Amino acid sequence: MDHLTQILLQLFAILVAAKLGNEVFRRLGQPTVVGEILGGVIAGPAVLGVYEVNAETELFAEIGVVLLLFQVGLETRLHELLRVGSTALAVGILGVILPFAGGFVAAELAGGDLSLAIFLAAALTATSVGITSNVLRDLGALRTRSGRIILGAAVIDDVLAIMILSVASGVAAGSFAIGNVLTLLGVAILFIGVVVIGGTRILAGRRSLLTDPEFAETPLLPGMIIMLGLAALASLVGLAAIIGAFLAGMVVGESSERHALEAEVAPVAAFFTPFFFGFIGAQVDLAGLASVDAILLLAGITALAVGSKFVGSFIGAIRQGRSRAMLIGWGMVPRGEVGIVVAGLGLSAGAIDSEIYSVVVGMAIITTLIVPPLLPRLVRRAETKATRSAEGEDGPPAGIEDDDGIETPLPG
Amino acid sequence: MDHLTQILLQLFAILVAAKLGNEVFRRLGQPTVVGEILGGVIAGPAVLGVYEVNAETELFAEIGVVLLLFQVGLETRLHELLRVGSTALAVGILGVILPFAGGFVAAELAGGDLSLAIFLAAALTATSVGITSNVLRDLGALRTRSGRIILGAAVIDDVLAIMILSVASGVAAGSFAIGNVLTLLGVAILFIGVVVIGGTRILAGRRSLLTDPEFAETPLLPGMIIMLGLAALASLVGLAAIIGAFLAGMVVGESSERHALEAEVAPVAAFFTPFFFGFIGAQVDLAGLASVDAILLLAGITALAVGSKFVGSFIGAIRQGRSRAMLIGWGMVPRGEVGIVVAGLGLSAGAIDSEIYSVVVGMAIITTLIVPPLLPRLVRRAETKATRSAEGEDGPPAGIEDDDGIETPLPG
């Protein structure tokens, strides 16, 4: 069987598995994203082995989450995001500091060396906005105040992650320089600033850039070019590609072509996102978790990961009222593909061994599976009980109150 | 720069290059597919080198042409295809025999050994239906009688190509057995027969299979699953993946969900097909064509490739009248990615050297670039001048005559 045939079979297998998982969970009234991930577990190396993790399947997964965040960006208005800026900043920073400190101290207490401690801590700080924003989107809650805070905090989280990963890689390689870390940070912030301010100015209310090219009868291709370009550029400056895609969506979303673009992106994203969810599930490695020790370690690390991220984000969001802080705290918990990527970097840098790697991957997947079932109830409580007084914090709520309420009845 | 960043940049580069080429050619009133291929030449290794041919970019190209043929299949009705069966068979067979004989004799006269002769002959027989069908689609001429004959002949062509490639690989490996060749042929014909007859029976007029799954609000995902599955299966039995995708489109196109599916597949295909056209252009290797000898060889092989395929297909189609035979003859000429794949197989089997490889790739691209500019005129002449008497040949034309005429005014 030639290589391309194998890849086609694997893409077919993961698409079928993810969609069967979706079907079962939908009929059970459970979150479909969990079904798609479990479909990936079953098709992947852990069970059937008809799907494997390789460069091509990873690319499809990456394009899947890039399209997902592009869609989320399209539905996000910059001015609404800026209005929750200070809360998002608090959530992002506290939601990074607590897991980092927790992971670092735990690793040092267990007698690990410095580079293991830093990598473990880095894996614990990661946030996978893909999972939460997908569920919020299904619930129609992306543009609620809590949804916007989660998105804003995820962007800040990723900026901090650059610093932490840069420190971790420097320590592991024995060449740590604070200047390099600050340069990376500066470039990342500059990138976000230029894209957001420059991009929205260029596109706001105009349609010319998206419709002037004659190669496109619709704004789809110009939109896809901007999405791929900013995803690649974000990746180049050390940010996650999905942050670039999210910014691209937000910038393009300021143009008058937003609704036409949303309609056209929907089928492309519907085709691709199952590859992302299935890919996460396929990372499950049961062989690495075969000992009692490993399972106990997994339980401990997972508890630490959930507790520290929840508490940090909860404290950061507490001024929004208790039910919103609950939603935001839980919404930041999934580590998803980001935690897996960090663990993979630690493995290839020699900082962590294959047992710890399996444990961290297991933690990333468990945190990703437990949150979606909680979200419908948390969203309902947060967005109906939240008091008006808490909403004024980041700016005047007048005139935008409708965005904060739930416009459609929530399912579940 | 990590691997994923490189791939994202390359996908961005080829998308921009292909679409800039499209834009320029559209403004010049020339076929946009030629512009997209030339965009790939410029972005690729031959000029700028910002895009390279690797497993991931090849996968995107493959999915692009798979989606293209799926779309073509959606627009093709099985009973219309069967009605031109005998002409398609004649075109397919004669369009393979003449180029094969020409390539074989030429290589033997030039003193090449048997396996070189067979691989060169095989590369000359290849037909890339992707290019012609894309242009016919743009011209709205896919469902004309000539369009259907070209599609049917391309399927037959691919069945014969299995036999030839199997013989070529056997000879190159020194283990040729006629039994293997016949088994492959039997499996391929069985696959096509089962898919076409079984698939259309299952789906004809029904919508249940495409809309019963609750995971999908639209028929897109069920359609994509059938497409990927049949593409992988076709590839597994030795056929081209695009033949499976074409059959999948034709089968799904019999269901009542055809129009909904066409609308949703359009943006997915629009996103992907530029990666296919750009990929073809990026195969151009100017370094391999640096000597006068190589260029003369290229000119000779290209003339042989064009002449033999045109004459063979023309003779096969002559009973359809002279202008239709002209269109069909030229429509079969592009070798595109298929010729390149065959040349690559010959290179890795050690049957042809890297100079001959560059020459064959150059031939494949030239034959692909010269045809699209000719098609608008040929379509106009064939489908307005073709006499009624020629149409009766494959079956009674009554009641389907509208499908054969041009329904919309042709551009150009």
Prediction ipTM score: 0.83
Given a contact cutoff of 8 angstroms between Cβ atoms, the answer to whether B9 and A232 are in contact is: yes
Question: Under 8 Å CB-to-CB from B59, ≥6 apart: which residues?
Answer: A4, A7, A56, A59
Q: For chain A, say whether B267 makes contact (Cβ under 8 Å).
A: yes
CA–centroid distance for B401 within its chain: 27
Coil, strand, or helix at residue A108? helix
Coil, strand, or helix at residue B186? helix
For residue range B337-355, what is the model confidence (pLDDT) as tens digits? 788 878 888 887 788 888 8
Question: Quick one: pLDDT band at residue B208, thresholds 50, 70, 90?
Answer: low
Given a contact cutoff of 8 angstroms between Cβ atoms, the answer to whether B70 and B249 are in contact is: yes
Backbone angles phi, psi at A207, to 5 degrees: -125, -5
Nearest CA-CA distance, residue A214 and chain B, Å: 6
CA–centroid distance for A172 within its chain: 26
Q: Which residue has the tokens 């009624």?
A: B388
Is the confidence at residue B98, as pLDDT, over 70?
A: yes
Question: Quick one: pLDDT band at residue A395, thresholds 50, 70, 90?
Answer: very low
Q: For chain B, say whether A303 makes contact (Cβ under 8 Å).
A: no
Amino acid making up residue A310: F
Q: From B17, which residue of chain A is nearest by alpha-carbon distance?
A: A225
Q: From B23, which residue of chain A is nearest by alpha-carbon distance?
A: A215
Is the confidence at residue A318, as pLDDT, over 50?
A: yes
Subunit contact B221:A4, Cβ cutoff 8 A: no
Run of H or E including B98: helix B85-109
Please state, in angstroms and rounded to a whole number, the distance separating the CA atoms of residues B351 and B343: 9
Each residue of B336-369: b (16+ CB within 10 Å) or e?
bbbbbbbbbbbbeeebbeeebbbbbbbbbbbbbb
Q: Which residue has the tokens 């494997």?
A: A52
Is the confidence at residue A12, as pLDDT, over 60?
A: yes
Please give the residue that has the higher pLDDT: either A398 or B68: B68
A105-119, A316-330, B159-173 — most confident range? A316-330
pLDDT at A223: 92
Is the confidence at residue B12, as pLDDT, over 90?
A: yes
Q: Best interface-test mutation with A: which of B1, B2, B12 has the largest number of A CBs within 10 A? A: B12
Question: Quick one: pLDDT band at residue A405, thresholds 50, 70, 90?
Answer: very low
Q: Which pair of tokens denotes residue B399?
A: 């009641």
Given a contact cutoff of 8 angstroms between Cβ atoms, the answer to whether A289 and A363 are in contact is: no
Contacts of B235 in chain A (CB under 8 A): 2, 4-5, 8
Subunit contact A15:B215, Cβ cutoff 8 A: no
pLDDT at A408: 39
Question: Under 8 Å CB-to-CB from B64, ≥6 apart: which residues?
Answer: B269, B272, B273, B274, B275, B276, B277, B279
Subunit contact A221:B58, Cβ cutoff 8 A: no
What letter would DSSP give residue B407? S
Contacts of A22 in chain B (CB under 8 A): 215
Question: Under 8 Å CB-to-CB from A271, ≥6 apart: which residues?
Answer: B220, B221, B224, B268
Coil, strand, or helix at residue B342? helix
Please state, in angstroms and rounded to a whole number, the distance separating the CA atoms of residues B225 and B231: 10
Please state, in angstroms and rounded to a whole number, the distance separating the CA atoms of residues B232 and B230: 5
pTM, rounded to two decimals:
0.84
Question: Under 8 Å CB-to-CB from A121, ≥6 apart: which residues?
Answer: A99, A100, A101, A102, A103, A104, A107, A164
Q: Best interface-test mutation with B: which of A215, A227, A237, A257 has the largest number of B CBs within 10 A? A: A215
